[in-house]
Structure 1
């Protein structure tokens, strides 16, 4: 089920407070749906339409878990990539690719992960603040084995600059509890090198990633990282029905962690530089299985 992702709502607003309450109740109960009394809305001055993810059923209002985590405005602070509610869809850029929106500034996603007991956040990479960190991570032999970018700061500055300038790629610093922990590249699948190796749809999104700080490695935080990046990419564009990835086929740990969060291995194939596993994650399956 694809829902229209709303504009952000200010923290402390009545509907924001109610969303926080529902998020807590979903986490505590594990239920697929919750009910609230209409009086709960009335006492806060909230109209049903403001809830965005609830519907009336007799004397109750029902909130589905899947709909809630696709539409409640708790985690991002910028408009989605496409605004279905107003019919403002980006047009083609001269090929069969839609126009891509501007990159968000600063921190654009934040969510407390109860299983990892840590807050996951994403911010747009800032070359001045993050270059030395990125250089250190890429020159760690553990990272270099998979990324093959163990180069000088000057070379990596060029690498990052091209991604900051490319409208189809978003270079991102991911943090745990405010401490930079890793690097992500979010991309539109049709413009990526991967687009030539599978039947791409215009709104497919994908990612490359690394956890650079060794103290943030481990099952719980890696799972929180994959949950969060998948969640954000679906939230960011309501037209995105599929996420894609192409990790090295021998990256056994990443494949195992991903498959536990609704990612599935479609097949293996050969890039010029590596044997890759084509991975897909479908929106409906992700929100049906994800527990935040």
Structure 2
């Protein structure tokens, strides 16, 4: 095995990042430049971890360190449906890990089920308080729906992608992003799909309207800290899509444009698309379905979505386009481990833009 000089970074969205270095079969978890935990990673029938040196005795530090190790192993072994844990070295952590769903017992064995690990919000999601927002029915625009939590600010999600060696992150857009959005909307490739080309004043009003709309959240996507695309996520119950299917209270929908041409391609779509879906499922555990409504004749886009786990439900007519209703189920996303490129996400240069709402 080769020495990994670049670390796998975990937990950046939480403000307490940890770096995991690999040297042969040894993993070192580093916080603020200090090694906090050392583990051994073995192969065989599947990855297997044992703790060699818990340098920091604080239980919370050790727990954070092993969680970072779990993410690193799962992300770099996407085919693994089980990460074995050495019962002896993990004995003192077994109960707290199982209480959090980070480990489970099967017979005499202890291990990590990735389909459970990736449903834990802490490593990736910034605002954990919003996940516990209580249900309260309200009316708006003649529609009855749950009251939504306050709109997020700053980074909402960050995830390190080993095949890029960089983090994919999404942050709430602000009015200061108008110049970037103005440039992207006037890109001929984007305009062919969105049809929003125009002056800066138009785009400032467009973005301000979305920021003020409680059911829409405009986002800027970054890779390695560089802005590459614009995303709109929405609560489907309050959206104009709602009358066209049997909408549920916590369904989410999305639109996307990739503004920087060099980020249109296989490696990038396999990073931002599952990361956005992951963010939406983590944001509220009551969200069981993510929906989309691309143009019905956008063959490449539909093929990409179907290979990413979306099922094509039906074709219908919006006032401005003939659309296909597509849907991704939580059970399928996590059950088939679709956060990984191993989920079969394809790519093409034209895969970077989705029709505007």
Do the two structures share a fold, i.e. TM-score over 0.5?
yes
**Using the alignment, how far apart are the partners of 1:35 and 1:264 within structure 2?**
33
**Matching of residue 19 in structure 1 with residue 67 in structure 2:** yes
User: SS of 1:100's equivalent?
Assistant: coil
Q: State the aligned residue count.
A: 281
**Greater percentage in strand:** 2
Give 1:42 deviation, angstroms: 5.0
RMSD over aligned Cα atoms = 2.2
1:132 is aligned to: 179
Secondary structure of 1:162's aligned partner:
helix
Q: Mind listing any 5+ residue stretches in structure 1 that lack a counterpart?
A: 1-6
Distance in 2 (alpha carbons) for counterparts of 1:189 and 1:276: 15
How big is the shift at 1:114? Answer: 2.4
What is the match of residue 109 of structure 2? 60
- The one of 239, 242, 245 equivalent to 1:195 is 242
**Which residue is 2:312 aligned to?**
265
For the structure 1 residues 249 and 204, does the alpha-carbon distance in structure 2 shift closer, same or farther, using more than 3 Å as the test?
same
Residue 295 of structure 2 contacts residue 322 of structure 2 at CA under 8 Å; is this kept in 1? yes
Contact kept, 8 Å, 1:80 with 1:237, in 2: the verdict is no
The one of 225, 228, 241 equivalent to 2:272 is 225
Report what 1:4 is aligned to: none
Tell me by how many angstroms 1:50 deviates: 5.7
Q: What residue number does 1:89 align with? A: 134
Distance 1:115 1:251, change over 3 A: farther
Q: CA offset at residue 76 of structure 1? A: 1.2
Partners of 1:197 and 1:108 lie apart in 2 by: 29
Q: Does 1:141 align with 2:188?
A: yes
Larger-gyration structure (1/2): 2
Question: What TM-score, normalized to structure 2?
Answer: 0.73
Q: Distance in 1 between matches of 2:14 and 2:293?
A: 32
| Cα shift at 1:272 | 0.9
- Structure 1 position 122, deviation (Å): 0.3
- Displacement of 1:159 in angstroms is 1.0
- For residues 24-77 of structure 1, the C-alpha deviation after alignment (integer angstroms, 9 at most, x for no partner) is 222343211222134444567982356433223344322211111011521111
Partner residue of 2:147? Answer: 99
Please give the alpha-carbon distance, in whole angstroms, between the structure 2 residues aligned to 1:65 and 1:49.
13
Which stretch of the first structure deviates more once superposed, 177-186 or 100-109?
100-109
- The answer for the alignment partner of 2:84 in structure 1 is 35
Q: Identify which range, 24-33 or 261-270, moves more after superposition.
A: 24-33
Counterpart Cα distance in 1 of 2:304 and 2:164? 14
Between the aligned partners of 1:253 and 1:115, the Cα distance in structure 2 is: 23
Q: What is the CA–CA distance in structure 1 between the aligned matches of 2:74 and 2:259, rounded to whole Å?
A: 32
d(CA) in 1 for partners of 2:101 and 2:232? 30
Which of 97, 100, 104 is 1:48 aligned to? 97
CA distance in 1: counterparts of 2:224 and 2:85, whole angstroms: 32
